[in-house]
Structure 1
Amino acid sequence: MWCAIYKSSKKTGSYLYIERKDDFERVPEALLAQFLAPELVMVINLDKREHLGFADIKRVKAELVENGFYLQLPPPVDNLLKAHRLAKGIEE
Structure 2
Amino acid sequence: MLASIYRSNKKEEMYLYIPVKDDFSNVPEALLKVFGEPEFSLQINLSKRKKLARVSIDEVRQKLVEEGFYLQMPPTIHHNQAN
The aligned runs of 1:81-92 (5 Å cut-off) are 82=81, 84-85=82-83
Tell me by how many angstroms 1:78 deviates. Answer: 1.2
CA drift at 1:10: 0.6
Match of 1:68 in 2: 68
Equivalent pairs, count = 83
Match of 2:7 in 1: 7
Could you say which structure has the greater relative contact order, defined with CA pairs below 8 angstroms and 6 or more residues apart?
A: 2
What corresponds to 1:56 in structure 2? 56
Structure 2 segments unaligned to the other structure (5+ residues): none
Q: Percent identity?
A: 49
SS in 2 for 1:64: helix
Taking structure 2 as the reference length, the TM-score comes to: 0.95
- The code of the aligned residue for 1:32 comes to L
- Larger-gyration structure (1/2): 1
Q: CA deviation at 1:23?
A: 0.2
Using the alignment, how far apart are the partners of 2:75 and 2:44 within structure 1?
A: 23
5+ residue gaps, structure 1, are 86-92
Q: What does residue 18 of structure 2 align with?
A: 18
Tell me, what secondary structure is at the counterpart of 1:68? coil
Rounded Cα–Cα distance in structure 1 between residues aligned with 2:35 and 2:29: 10
Pairwise CA RMSD: 0.8
Q: Which runs of 4+ in 1 moved over 4 A?
A: none
TM-score between the two structures when normalised by the length of structure 1: 0.86
